């Protein structure tokens, strides 16, 4: 017989596999996650039930031919022989039977998507022998009926009903409610019933040949790789169909063999707090599912030290080793069969955000992992979750839960309830209200209302309903399927058991727990100062990103990674940003200040001024307040750069609502009212003259400054007067004036010298000197394409990726998000919302061009990003790759960005900046 | 004395200059246009008055030091000696005086911007001698007072008034109205007065030393190079300040020395018709200005053959030679002094559009120039002027001119008069009226009204007024400064001598002549068929562009130049395009058909349909008419490709006006009317739900097709059913289906296979086969950036440069043109309106990237352009350079584009396609 390929590896043959596969990743590919884990534990001297793995290569051969490849079955039989020796039991031997499980296990975890068959090796004879051995007929018959059922449904794909129906009928006949009430005799009867059902459906008897059982089970696992569920899952998660699954044949061990047996689960550290203390529970004389089912009260793992001190010592020793081996907190399952400890599984344990950070920091301090590894262990999402506003725990205790649904999108939201999207949007946008949109369910038409709201609540649908998907996409707290709520759209109320909430009343929605409350529950953002572990970790992250050799510039010089700055319009935001670790202000939006109640009337008069002199008069009134704004900002950011963007939005945004005014005018005309009509008509005409078909691409930004330079002249004077005053007070100011919406260098040539003249005039008037810059946003595609020219004047670039994304895609964000973006993401036309995560292929490519061309002109060009993407980890990575100096984001996202910047630095450490267009 | 540089060249030393300068361009640079022309004529044996040129190098030295460079004056004196010999006269000799002119002459013509002084060499003594010689004291004193005046104003920069005032006073004293009435004695008296005035102002006598006259005049010419007028002119026209001017010292000859003397001007061919027949006029015993002034009746040039047969023969011989020498129709000036013919100037003659073409074609047929040269002689603007709609000549004869103003922007416009921009725009856009905007003058606020109108008429302002500048920029016929019109904005009328035109009445405005008529004058576009010379020329142009080796592709293969296709929505447009030489339809806008009166109600119902089935029902009603549209188009374009763009605009464009409906609803509510209110409210809500903040970047194009595929499915069915029907009738169809607004290849992956299935279904149903393509517009910046991916599906690209310009610049065209584009062009921030001439640096660069990346994926990718730029010569040149296969433009511009394509082909003949990003 020709030497056939090796398809089967015993757990202890791990070194041989590693040699063949070339790497541990190769081992995982060949043996799957579970198989490689069992082999790895075996190698580490951990007592693992004997067993072997059939490789993914065998699976792939099987998929091609529908047959076991040559030699496979012989190798299985040989491996089984070894396992019999190791376990001291014999497969199919009623006197000392070996039972095995047959489990799927692919390279990447696909929980519940493929088949597993337990208790293989049981037949009528073996069952009889086992009853003698264990003295526990109830356990044996229960195991046997499970095998028959699993075989039928899993190997032969029979309908579950075939077995569930007779069981239900039997229980009904006995008056049982729970399986627990079934006796040994009951299960014995059921075994007979199941076998009969099997025969009727299959046309042959349930196989008594244990090897036949093993063969069929193995084939069924292979086939389950190409089952619909598995394929769908892989498509959704991007796992390749070519990988195949391995099959693990493992000796069954039983914790219910008496009081010297038991089973349990444990975490090597506290998964909730991260404390370095084993946490777990166990049950004597029990099976794994008994622990999970919560039928009997489990014991704390510490007590095992009293009942079985030797096993406990061994357990603590093994888990200690496992933690060291995997360098992470482990989640283990174990069984004690007649005094012997078997480790059934170990894996990195799931944990809360808080404990993730504590464990990473602790393990690094313990010397188990490096600081880099600690930083990499914590994903930005973890930090996000930790800092997300949440309902105050004390308030929640006293508040009455109004309803409960599915926790579809996390976070705490408080707002006034509105029962349709249009109203919710209108109240949010026009009345500046906080709103919660409440609907039976949502449709694409409703997205604009969802986006405008703080939170969303539906009475129908589940975690994958439209409302849930959209809410998660946009980061809006959302509870769905709160089916106890009756929504009466006609009367604009909702009701739970006679408890009525009218439209406009306040409610609170907890997307993290699925609970809904009446009224306004206080929310709180956890204070960063108290999170000492997080502060430690972020400090390490900053150190990594600040290393001077993290990036190689195109000219060969070395450079550090990204800094994190923040977008802040007011001193209080700047102070928060600074306390969160921001190293500068990347965007201060000056026009926000124009909207303040006492200033808006002056701003409106200024806009409607008919002469430059009149306009300047109103601007003179605004100058002191703007100066005060900037003064506070410089003071808060003492020593750090502050980028101030000159006025950006179109002027009509400052004017009263046109439609409302039109309605008033028409009404007055129809009624024949003349008092004040003329004034209203004139105002309407003025507003109409400011109207634009596509305001996003109209008269705004630098275009506005060129057609009406008085406004920015006032702003620049305010900036430099404030900076001069601060300098005199001993504050170190680093103002950077940012001109928005540049599309051609000629715009800068027109405006920038005028503004610099004002800057010089002020510093001369005030007799102070400080360093300042003039630069521009890159947010128009043409600016990116002609960045080399623009850099002749601009001393810094800041990517306005919101607008750059709008114009590169030709998407008006408002319109796109409500009209087609959800459809596009759902249909896979866009991988994700490009307004949240930067589109590297399009927008990102333009950024890359702009940086390269800009630095060719001005090698020391400072480059940042101030669009929303500045706080998105994937986008931050791209900014690192293409050579940004910093990212600027909302103060709340600064910690996330700091971590993301470190991750990018580690991932691309020492690499050249990507120049490829 | 050291050998000094040669600063002075006699006209006959042209060979020596050429040797020194290295090329004729160098000669022009050294001697200026006039000097090199005189030298060139001298070499050709043409009798030119003896003279010499002081080089531009001398000028540049003079500019540096303020002194004549070493050796210059000696060379002038030496050259003057030669000229004395050649002319047989002596400078400053009263017995036989030589007078000279001292004329500026730079490399590039700067008409009227620099100084010229005539009659140098006259002083009291010489004047006396000349009177004896000529017996014409009036001429001599007139010449003398001119010299004094020119010297004062030009060399010494005295105010004109210094001389004009005494002359006016003198005439008033005598009761004269015209200079003509002045006698010899009168001029003699004036000479004395002028000399006294000169002395009083200068502090010294008018120089009697003729060499001093020459020296001062020469310096004055040099200095005039740096005069304000000259500098401004050069700045405006892009001529370098470093070039300097030459000075030409030329013997004065006089045509008023008796009946054997005379002077005249002539064109070697008819400048109006192009006929090959000398056309000119002359006067015996007269000076040049007498011919121009029109005081005496001139004789036709033919008559010179009778009066001075020998001179006439010589003249005809010389002009024939000049035409051959310059290979172009010449505009000559000549003087006969005592029977001797002197040629004073020859230059390429200005001519009408018609004659430009005829002369080019004739000269090529005569073998004087090649066909390539003939094609290059005719600029696209010439063809444009020829094909521009004009008022019918016969109608103009009988029509009464209502008013006359400045012809500010050419073309004929007919429309209803409206007296403000808003009304004009509203009537044009909403009522689809033809309008003429009439204003006293215009401001930037009015631009939207101008653009919406057929023509513009103002009662104030001149050729550089706002109205004039804007109208020319947008190609709108315009008459300005029609000051006899009184516009009464209050009563909405205009009036000329009691002749009232009310708002809304029809008027006709001739921007070519400046005339305004009441009523609708018939206009006609000249028929191309009758323009045989143009047809010949365009045929040659096509041959040039079609040469197979005009361009070298990046992979080294040779390729022809650009084809010209046309944008046409209806069969009649397609037929016109074909008759104008279009080789395909590059854009058929299918939605235009939806707007037709009988279809619009069905379209609106289709849009408001609530189910797909309902929508499909309405679309089924539209299918037959769409099929008919396409059938006619394919028939008209038998054998040629027809690109049909699927529906593009957002749906709200098909709906009634929202504001109007809102006004109706509000009015009904206020009045308490309920009948029909609900329907109106519902319709309003539907329209509101279609409203978008930036519709240009909203739900349109392929986005619409993906969210509502039924419409394009109907359209594709209609296209292929029509194509199949035509094929059965023996027509060769080449349909190309174009998907608009693609931003990612995934959009094509979603929609294109669906459409191809329909195409296949139809061809199978109809059992026919024909070649078709599916492709896309490249009009979103992201499409250009990711063109390599998009070309995996798209079989052709068509640049929609209107939208691509909008999004690359971030300009909404409507808003930009009315709000800031005029300001931007005026301030030089944009070199020109980027919606008319392609922005090569930004938009053009993206196109270049798209072609390069697209062809890397699909080497045979067909690339065209269907934006307005397809008809603009400068943009066409860019399309040639970057490798477009064709440009597509309005049928009317096809001839212009054919010529422009040939020009580009010749300019870049045999060159590689520009790949540089």
Per-residue pLDDT of A652-695, as tens digits, reads 989 988 989 999 999 999 999 999 999 999 999 889 888 888 99
Please spell the DSSP secondary structure of B618-667, one letter per residue: HHHHHHHHHHHHHHHHHHHTTTSEEEEEPP-S-GGGGSPPHHHHHHHHHH
Chain A, residues 745-774, CB within 8 A of chain B, namely 746-747, 749-750
Instruction: Say if the Cβ atoms of A820 and B707 lie within 8 Å.
Output: yes
Which chain A positions have a beta carbon within 8 Å of B824's beta carbon?
703, 706
- Residues of A annotated catalytic, as ranges: 466, 866
Task: Give how far Cα B587 sits from Cα of A46, B577, B654, B774, B813, Å.
Answer: 74, 12, 20, 13, 20
Contacts (Cβ under 8 Å, ≥6 apart) of B132: none
Lowest average pLDDT, out of A507-516, B387-396, B778-787, goes to B387-396
Contacts (Cβ under 8 Å, ≥6 apart) of B862: B773, B775, B795, B796, B797, B885
- The yes-or-no verdict on residue A393 having pLDDT over 90 is no
* Nearest CA-CA partner of B871 in B511, B641, B567, B579: B567
Nearest CA-CA distance, residue A816 and chain B, Å: 6
Mean pLDDT of A393-421: 88
Nearest CA-CA distance, residue A380 and chain B, Å: 29
Chain B CB within 8 Å of residue A709 CB = no
Cα gap B842→A850, rounded to integer Å: 12
Q: How far is CA A495 from the centre of its chain?
A: 34
Chain B CB within 8 Å of residue A835 CB = no
Chain A CB within 8 Å of residue B20 CB = no
Instruction: Say if the Cβ atoms of A782 and B843 lie within 8 Å.
Output: yes
Which chain B positions have a beta carbon within 8 Å of A746's beta carbon?
828-830
Give the tens place of pLDDT for each residue, B489-508: 889 999 999 899 999 999 99
Please spell the DSSP secondary structure of B162-192, one letter per residue: HHHHHHHHHHHHHT--SGGG--HHHHHHHHH
Taking the CA of residue A137 as centre, how many other CA atoms within 13 Å lie in the half-sphere pointing to its CB? Answer: 12
Instruction: Say if the Cβ atoms of A823 and B707 lie within 8 Å.
Output: yes
Cβ distance B899 to B877 under 8 Å?
A: no
Chain A CB within 8 Å of residue B670 CB = yes
- The yes-or-no verdict on residue A287 having pLDDT over 80 is no
Residues linked to residue B54 through DSSP beta bridges, in sequence order: B8, B247
Q: What was the pLDDT predicted at B817?
A: 79
Give the tens place of pLDDT for each residue, B592-648: 778 888 888 999 999 999 899 999 999 999 999 999 999 999 999 999 999 999 999
Please give the mean pLDDT across all residues of chain A.
91
How would residue A521 be classed by pLDDT, with cut points 50, 70 and 90?
very high
Instruction: Say if the Cβ atoms of A781 and B703 lie within 8 Å.
Output: no
* Nearest CA-CA partner of A104 in A244, A287, A289: A244
Nearest CA-CA distance, residue B786 and chain A, Å: 6
Which chain A residue's Cα is nearest to B853?
A917
Instruction: Give per-residue burial for B161-188: e unless 16+ CB within 10 Å, then b.
Output: ebbeebbeebbeeeebeeeeebeeebbb
Q: What token pair was written down for B486?
A: 């009184």
Give the tens place of pLDDT for each residue, B432-469: 889 999 999 887 678 788 888 999 999 987 766 778 86
Mean pLDDT of A701-718: 96
Instruction: Say if the Cβ atoms of A781 and B820 lie within 8 Å.
Output: no
Nearest CA-CA distance, residue A789 and chain B, Å: 10
Nearest CA-CA distance, residue B424 and chain A, Å: 15
Chain B CB within 8 Å of residue A423 CB = no
Cα gap A496→A488, rounded to integer Å: 11
Which chain A positions have a beta carbon within 8 Å of B659's beta carbon?
662
Mean pLDDT of A522-533: 83
Which chain A residue's Cα is nearest to B847?
A785
How would residue A207 be classed by pLDDT, with cut points 50, 70 and 90?
very high
The minimal CB distance from A697 to the residues B743, B779, B815 is found for: B815
Chain B CB within 8 Å of residue A671 CB = yes
The minimal CB distance from B785 to the residues A659, A698, A845 is found for: A845
Cα gap B589→B587, rounded to integer Å: 6
Which of A705, A750, A785 is the best mutation test for B, with the most CBs of B within 10 A? A785
Q: What was the pLDDT predicted at B295?
A: 56
* Nearest CA-CA partner of A273 in A352, A211, A347, A372: A352
Which chain A positions have a beta carbon within 8 Å of B809's beta carbon?
743, 780, 782
Please spell the DSSP secondary structure of B703-751, one letter per residue: HHHHHSTHHHHHHHHHHHHHHHHHHHTT---EEEEEE-S--SHHHHHHH
Instruction: Give per-residue burial for B577-602: e unless 16+ CB within 10 Å, then b.
Output: bbebbbbbbbbbbbbebbeeeebeeb
Please state the pTM of the whole predicted model: 0.82
Nearest CA-CA distance, residue B758 and chain A, Å: 21
Catalytic residue among B466, B869, B880, B903: B466
Which chain A positions have a beta carbon within 8 Å of B820's beta carbon?
699, 703, 706-707
Q: What token pair was written down for B598?
A: 């009988």
**What is residue B880's DSSP assignment?**
H
Instruction: Say if the Cβ atoms of A782 and B663 lie within 8 Å.
Output: no
Which chain A residue's Cα is nearest to B751?
A829
Q: What was the pLDDT predicted at A99?
A: 96
Chain A CB within 8 Å of residue B829 CB = yes
Nearest CA-CA distance, residue B638 and chain A, Å: 36
Instruction: Say if the Cβ atoms of B697 and A830 lie within 8 Å.
Output: no
Chain A CB within 8 Å of residue B707 CB = yes
Helix axis angle for B710-728 and B745-766, nearest 10°, is: 40
The minimal CB distance from A815 to the residues B698, B706, B819 is found for: B698
Instruction: Say if the Cβ atoms of B810 and A741 lie within 8 Å.
Output: yes
Cα gap B774→B768, rounded to integer Å: 18
Which chain A positions have a beta carbon within 8 Å of B452's beta carbon?
none
Q: What was the pLDDT predicted at B495?
A: 93
Mean pLDDT of A280-294: 75
Instruction: Say if the Cβ atoms of B842 and A785 lie within 8 Å.
Output: yes
Chain B CB within 8 Å of residue A815 CB = yes
Taking the CA of residue A400 as centre, how many other CA atoms within 13 Å lie in the half-sphere pointing to its CB? Answer: 5
Is A349 or B363 the better-scoring residue by pLDDT?
B363
Helix (H) or strand (E) holding B866: none
The minimal CB distance from A707 to the residues B823, B842, B846 is found for: B823
Q: How far is CA A228 from the centre of its chain?
A: 26
Catalytic residue among B102, B726, B866, B889: B866
Which chain A positions have a beta carbon within 8 Å of B845's beta carbon?
785-786
Dihedrals phi, psi of A196, to nearest 5 degrees: -65, -45
The minimal CB distance from B694 to the residues A694, A703, A746 is found for: A694
Cα gap B623→B475, rounded to integer Å: 38
How would residue A824 be classed by pLDDT, with cut points 50, 70 and 90?
very high
Lowest average pLDDT, out of A163-167, A727-731, B370-374, B563-567, goes to A163-167
Cα gap B723→B727, rounded to integer Å: 6
Lowest average pLDDT, out of B47-61, B98-112, B213-227, B530-544, goes to B98-112
Instruction: Say if the Cβ atoms of B697 and A812 lie within 8 Å.
Output: yes
The minimal CB distance from B696 to the residues A697, A816, A841 is found for: A697
Instruction: Give per-residue burial for A337-355: e unless 16+ CB within 10 Å, then b.
Output: beeebbbbbbbebebbbbb
Sheet strands (E) in A376-431 = 390-391, 401-404, 406-409, 412-418
Helix (H) and strand (E) counts in chain A: 37, 36
Which chain A positions have a beta carbon within 8 Å of B839's beta carbon?
782
Q: How far is CA A838 from the centre of its chain?
A: 16
Chain B CB within 8 Å of residue A610 CB = no
Helix (H) or strand (E) holding A529: none
Which of B607, B692, B789, B810 is the best mutation test for A, with the most CBs of A within 10 A? B810
How would residue A701 be classed by pLDDT, with cut points 50, 70 and 90?
very high
Q: What token pair was written down for A859?
A: 């090698």
How would residue A177 be classed by pLDDT, with cut points 50, 70 and 90?
confident
Contacts (Cβ under 8 Å, ≥6 apart) of A153: A159, A160, A162, A163
Mean pLDDT of B141-155: 92
Cα gap A93→A128, rounded to integer Å: 11
Instruction: Say if the Cβ atoms of A819 and B707 lie within 8 Å.
Output: yes
What is the C-alpha radius of gyration for chain A, rounded to an integer number of angstroms? 34
Please spell the DSSP secondary structure of A809-822, one letter per residue: HT--HHHHHHHTHH
Nearest CA-CA distance, residue B753 and chain A, Å: 14
Chain A CB within 8 Å of residue B611 CB = no
């Amino acid at each position: 017989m020709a030497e056939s390929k090796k398809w089967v590896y015993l757990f202890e043959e791990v070194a041989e596999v590693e040699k063949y596969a070339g790497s541990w990743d190769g081992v995982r590919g060949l043996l799957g996650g579970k198989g490689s884990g069992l082999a790895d534990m075996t190698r580490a001297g951990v007592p693992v039930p004997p067993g072997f793995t059939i490789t993914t290569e065998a699976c792939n051969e099987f998929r091609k031919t529908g047959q076991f490849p040559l030699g496979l079955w012989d190798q299985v039989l040989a491996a089984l022989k070894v396992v019999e020796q190791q376990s001291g039991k014999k497969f199919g031997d009623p006197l000392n039977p070996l039972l095995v499980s047959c489990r799927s296990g692919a390279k990447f975890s696909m929980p519940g998507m493929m088949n597993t068959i337990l208790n293989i090796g049981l037949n009528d004879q073996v069952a009889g022998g086992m009853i003698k051995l264990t003295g526990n007929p109830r356990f044996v018959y229960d195991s046997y009926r499970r095998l028959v059922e699993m075989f039928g449904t899993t190997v032969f794909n029979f309908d579950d009903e075939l077995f569930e129906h007779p069981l239900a009928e039997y229980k009904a006949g006995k008056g049982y409610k729970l399986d627990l009430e079934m006796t040994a005799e009951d299960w014995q009867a059921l075994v007979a019933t199941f076998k009969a059902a099997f025969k009727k459906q299959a046309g042959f008897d349930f196989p008594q040949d244990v090897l036949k059982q093993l063969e069929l089970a193995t084939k069924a696992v292979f086939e389950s790789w190409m089952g619909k569920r598995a394929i769908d899952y892989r498509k959704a998660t991007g796992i390749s169909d070519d990988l195949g699954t391995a099959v693990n044949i493992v000796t069954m061990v039983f914790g219910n063999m008496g009081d010297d047996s038991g089973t349990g689960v444990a975490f090597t550290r506290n998964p909730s707090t991260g404390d370095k203390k084993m946490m777990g529970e166990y049950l004597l004389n029990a099976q794994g599912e008994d622990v999970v089912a919560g039928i009997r009260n489990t014991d704390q793992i510490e007590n095992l030290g009293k009942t079985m001190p030797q096993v406990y010592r061994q357990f603590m020793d093994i888990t200690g080793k496992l933690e060291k081996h995997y360098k992470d907190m482990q989640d283990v399952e174990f069984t004690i069969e007649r005094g012997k400890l078997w480790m059934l599984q170990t894996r990195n344990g799931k944990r809360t955000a808080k404990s993730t950070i504590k464990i990473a920091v602790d393990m690094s301090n313990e010397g188990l992992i490096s600081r880099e590894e600690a930083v990499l262990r914590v994903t930005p999402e973890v930090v996000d979750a930790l800092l997300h506003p949440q309902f105050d725990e004390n308030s929640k205790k006293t508040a009455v839960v109004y309803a409960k649904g599915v926790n579809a999108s996390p976070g705490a939201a408080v707002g006034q309830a509105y029962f349709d999207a249009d109203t919710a949007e209108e109240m949010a946008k026009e009345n500046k209200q906080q709103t919660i949109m409440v609907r039976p369910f949502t449709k694409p038409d409703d997205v604009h209302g969802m986006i405008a709201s703080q939170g969303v609540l539906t009475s129908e649908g589940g975690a994958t309903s439209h409302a849930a998907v959209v809410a998660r996409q946009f980061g809006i707290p959302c509870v769905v399927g709160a089916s106890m709520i009756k929504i009466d759209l006609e009367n604009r109320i909702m009701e739970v058991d006679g408890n009525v909430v009218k439209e406009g009343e306040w409610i609170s929605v907890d997307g993290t727990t699925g609970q809904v409350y009446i009224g306004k529950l206080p929310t709180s953002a956890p204070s960063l100062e108290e999170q000492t572990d997080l502060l430690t970790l972020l400090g390490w992250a900053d150190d990594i990103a600040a290393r001077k050799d993290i990036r190689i510039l195109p000219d060969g010089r070395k450079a550090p990674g990204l800094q994190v700055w923040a977008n802040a319009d007011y001193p209080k935001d700047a102070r928060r940003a600074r306390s969160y670790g921001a190293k500068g202000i990347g965007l201060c939006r000056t026009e926000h200040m124009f909207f303040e109640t006492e200033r808006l009337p002056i701003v409106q008069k200024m806009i409607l001024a008919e002469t430059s002199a009149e306009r300047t008069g109103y601007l003179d009134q605004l100058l002191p307040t703007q100066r005060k704004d900037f003064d506070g900002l410089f003071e808060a950011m003492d020593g750090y750069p502050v980028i101030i963007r000159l006025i950006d939005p179109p002027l009509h945004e400052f004017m009263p609502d046109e439609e409302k005014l039109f309605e008033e005018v028409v009404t007055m005309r129809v009624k024949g009212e003349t008092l004040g009509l003329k004034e209203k008509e004139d105002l309407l005409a003025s507003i109409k003259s400011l109207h634009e078909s596509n305001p996003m691409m109209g008269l705004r930004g630098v275009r506005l400054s060129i057609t009406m330079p008085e406004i920015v002249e006032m702003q620049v004077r305010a900036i430099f007067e404030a900076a001069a005053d601060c300098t005199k007070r001993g504050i170190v100011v680093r103002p950077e004036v940012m001109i928005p919406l540049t599309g051609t260098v000629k715009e800068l040539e027109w405006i920038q010298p005028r503004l610099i003249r004002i800057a010089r005039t002020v510093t001369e008037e005030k007799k102070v000197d400080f360093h300042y810059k003039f630069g521009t946003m890159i947010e128009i595609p043409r600016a990116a394409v002609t960045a080399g020219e623009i850099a002749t004047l601009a001393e810094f670039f800041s990517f306005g990726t919101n607008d750059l994304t709008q114009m590169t895609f030709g998407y008006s964000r408002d319109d796109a998000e409500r009209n087609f973006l959800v459809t596009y993401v759902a249909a896979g036309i866009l991988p994700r919302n490009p307004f949240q995560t930067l589109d590297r292929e399009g927008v990102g490519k333009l950024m890359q061009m702009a940086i390269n061309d800009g630095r060719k002109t001005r090698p020391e060009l400072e480059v940042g990003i101030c669009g929303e993407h500045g706080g998105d980890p994937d986008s931050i990575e791209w900014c690192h790759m293409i050579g940004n100096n910093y990212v600027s984001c909302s103060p709340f996202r600064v910690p996330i960005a700091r971590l993301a910047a470190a991750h990018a630095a580690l991932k691309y450490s020492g690499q050249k900046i990507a120049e490829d267009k």
